[in-house]
Structure 1
Amino acid sequence: MAKVIVVGAGPSGMMAAISASKNNHEVILIDRNEELGKKLKVTGGGRCNITNNRDIEDFFEKVVTNKKFLYSSFYTFTNMNLLSYLEQNGLEYKVEDFNDHKVYTKSDKSEEVIDMLRHDLTKNKVKILLNKKVVDIIVENDSVIGVKIEDGEKLLADKVIISTGGKSYPHTGSDGMMYEILRKYNHTITKIYPALTPITVKEGWIKNLQGISMQNVEISCKIKKKKIAIIGDMLFAHFGLTGPAVLKFSSHINKYIDENELELNIDFLPNISVDEISNTIRENPNKNVLNNLKGILPQNFLKEVFSILELTDKKANELTKSDENKIVESIKNMKLTCNGSKGIKTSQVTCGGISVKEINSSNMESKIINNLFFTGEVIDIDAETGGYNLQIAFSTGYLAGISV
């Protein structure tokens, strides 16, 4: 039996503590906050998108950074294993097949997940220390032997699992402090970028579209001749773009826009051709153009587009071919210049962290410091929205816990 300290009581830390305790280890779970799962509590707008119901093989295409690193974690503790675990612990969930197969609690309350994990921690005799900020790890002869607490207290252990998260949602305690601690001990911390975050747009007229929401659009760009395209819902904001499709898209372009501007193309009707839109515009020659387009796009959007194009609404038979082409181009290929993002404080996930080259993916142990393990967002791994990041947290936490 080993003494194990887990630093960070988010989903990966709680799962690591539970799986380690079930292997008959003495486990201490430490968190700087006054409660367990502070960030978990606010995920999914408080609904908590626990995982996704797709085949586990499909998860890899949803991972943006270092997907190969996750093979052992995902296959050791799959989404089906997680759902079985929820069932065994009495948590009812639902699968929203209409919503990208996302899995939520039946009650839409993230607190139920936290309560279930807390109950399992208690049942397995995990000692929980809250309001305790770890300010250093204790290393001797290239092996970790414990941690230092802010008040000067030292806690010794045979194994230490770091589950402190990244730099997103800093108000929940994940301020990236652990990166600096690990850098002292020769761990490489890759550059930190915001992931799953709203993006900013250079064009000033974007403010005129503020608050307009669009469904099933395609956002695309080219980076070094590679096309990146995401289809989904989006929302115009005074600063640029947000919404599910934009958040996903941001994770694929975040490293590029950190230093460069990027031309975006938005197709608001990806399933309707240019010719079909032209035919719709001309469908009723004696009706106004806005009227003809009413069935396929929101009127408030179309009115703003006409205003931006400096066009007045007129009957279809009075519209010039040149103006028709402008309307169609704005619908099928609106060009915008992305000049950044809203930053790490508004991002749902951190891109960057401890280099995966320095972690053994088969057990989550450091290749630099013996008996030191890592889980979740503190590692340089991130994925699109849809429950994939939480599955990464649970899978890596479980693997680290059974490996100590």
Structure 2
Amino acid sequence: MSKIIVVGGGPSGMMAALNASKSNHEVILLERNGELGRKLLLTGGGRCNITNNRDIEDFFDKVVNNKKFLYSSFYSFTNKDLLSYFEENNLEYKIETANDHKVYTKSDKSEEVIIALKSDLKANKVKILYNTKVVDLIIENNTVIGVKTENNQTILADKVIISTGGKSYPNTGSDGMMYEILKKYGHTINKIYPALIPLTVKESFIKNLQGISMKNVEISCKIKKKKISQVGDMLFAHFGLTGPAVLKFSSYINKYIDENELEISLDFLPSINSDEISKLIRENPNKNVINNLKGLLPQNFLKEIFNLLDLTDKKANELSKSDELKIVECIKSMKLTCNGSIGIKASQVTSGGVSVKEINSSTMESKLIENLFFTGEVIDVDAETGGYNLQIAFSTGYLAGISV
């Protein structure tokens, strides 16, 4: 039996603590807040998007950074394993097949996930110390032997698992402090970027579109001749763009927009070509253009498009060919200048963190410091929305827990 310290009581930390304890180790879980899983409560809009029900092989296509690193984690503890675990612990869930195969709690209450995990932690005799902030590691001869806490307490252990999260939502406890500690002991911390984040737009007219939601929009750009695109729902905001498609898109461009402006293109009807839109505009020649298009696009959006193009709505048979082309181009290829995001504090996920080159992907142990392990968002791995990031947390937590 070894003594294991787990630093951080989020999903990956709880899963690591559970599986270390099930291997008959003495486990102490240190949580800086007065409760476990504070950030977990926010996921899925408070509903907790536990995982995704796609085949585990499909998960790799949804990982944005360092997907190969996650092979051992994902296959050691798959989404099916996670759902079986929750079934065994009396958590009911539902699969929303029409909603990208996302898995939520049946009650739509994220606290039920925490209740199930806490109950299992108690059953497995994991000691939880709340309001305990770790401010340093104790390293001797390139081996971790314990931690120091904010109140000057030293807690010794045979092995330490770092599950402190990234820098997003710092009010939940993930303020990035652990990155500085790890850097001090030789670990490379890859630059931190906000991921799954609303984007800011330079054009001032965007404020006039604020609050308008759009279905199945293709948002795209080119970076170094490579096309990046996402299709899904989006929402105009006073600062720019948000919504599922925008959040996914942001994770693929966040490094570029950190230092550059980027032209992005919005196709509001990606399944209909330009000629078809022109026909629809002219379909009822005695009706106004907006009337002909209102079944395809929101009327308030169309009105703003006409204002933007300095056009007045008129009967289709009175519309000039050049104005028709302007309308079609705006619908099929609205150009905007993305000049950043709303920042790391509001991002759903942190991109960047401890370099995967310095972690053994088969065990989650540091290659630099013996007996030091990592899980979850503190590592430089992130994925699209849809339950994939939580699966990363649970899978890496499981693997670290069984490897100590």
Question: What TM-score do you get using the length of structure 1 for normalisation?
Answer: 1.00
The SS at the match of 1:174 is: coil
Q: Which position in structure 2 is the counterpart of 1:327?
A: 327
1:100-115 matched pairs, under 5 angstroms: 100-115=100-115
Structure 1 counterpart of 2:394, which letter?
A: F
What is the distance in 1 between the residues matched to 2:72 and 2:63?
Answer: 14
Q: Which position in structure 2 is the counterpart of 1:364?
A: 364
* Deviation per residue, 1:269-294 (Å, 9 max, x gap): 00011111000000011110000001
Q: Which position in structure 2 is the counterpart of 1:391?
A: 391
1:67 is aligned to 2:104 = no
Cα offset for 1:44? 1.1
The SS at the match of 2:39 is: helix
Q: Which position in structure 1 is the counterpart of 2:158?
A: 158
Structure 2 counterpart of 1:26, which letter?
A: E
Cα offset for 1:115? 0.2
Q: Which position in structure 2 is the counterpart of 1:194?
A: 194
The SS at the match of 2:249 is: helix
1:203-214 matched pairs, under 5 angstroms: 203-214=203-214
* Unpaired stretches in structure 1, ≥5 consecutive residues: none
What is the distance in 1 between the residues matched to 2:279 and 2:262?
Answer: 32
Q: Which position in structure 1 is the counterpart of 2:119?
A: 119
Structure 1 counterpart of 2:53, which letter?
A: N
What is the distance in 2 between the residues matched to 1:170 and 1:33?
Answer: 12
Q: Which position in structure 1 is the counterpart of 2:307?
A: 307
The SS at the match of 1:363 is: coil
Number of residue-to-residue matches in the alignment? 404
1:134-153 matched pairs, under 5 angstroms: 134-153=134-153
1:227-238 matched pairs, under 5 angstroms: 227-238=227-238
Cα offset for 1:144? 0.2
Structure 1 counterpart of 2:33, which letter?
A: N
* Deviation per residue, 1:43-84 (Å, 9 max, x gap): 111100000000000000000000000000000000000000
What is the distance in 1 between the residues matched to 2:120 and 2:226?
Answer: 46
What is the distance in 1 between the residues matched to 2:142 and 2:257?
Answer: 38
Q: Which position in structure 2 is the counterpart of 1:54?
A: 54
Q: Which position in structure 2 is the counterpart of 1:269?
A: 269
Q: Which position in structure 2 is the counterpart of 1:382?
A: 382
1:241 is aligned to 2:241 = yes
What is the distance in 2 between the residues matched to 1:190 and 1:353?
Answer: 5
What is the distance in 1 between the residues matched to 2:64 and 2:289?
Answer: 42
1:260 is aligned to 2:264 = no
The SS at the match of 1:296 is: coil
Cα offset for 1:102? 0.1
What is the distance in 2 between the residues matched to 1:252 and 1:260?
Answer: 14
The SS at the match of 2:221 is: strand
Cα offset for 1:174? 0.4
Structure 1 counterpart of 2:264, which letter?
A: L
Question: What TM-score do you get using the length of structure 2 for normalisation?
Answer: 1.00
Cα offset for 1:339? 0.4
What is the distance in 2 between the residues matched to 1:24 and 1:4?
Answer: 10
1:290 is aligned to 2:290 = yes
Q: Which position in structure 2 is the counterpart of 1:98?
A: 98
Flag as ranges the 4+ runs of structure 1 deviating above 4 A. Answer: none
* Unpaired stretches in structure 2, ≥5 consecutive residues: none
1:178-189 matched pairs, under 5 angstroms: 178-189=178-189
Cα offset for 1:248? 0.3
1:219 is aligned to 2:216 = no
Cα offset for 1:97? 0.4
The SS at the match of 2:344 is: coil
Cα offset for 1:202? 0.5
Structure 2 counterpart of 1:313, which letter?
A: D
What is the distance in 1 between the residues matched to 2:235 and 2:295?
Answer: 19
Cα offset for 1:361? 0.2
Structure 2 counterpart of 1:11, which letter?
A: P
Cα offset for 1:92? 0.3
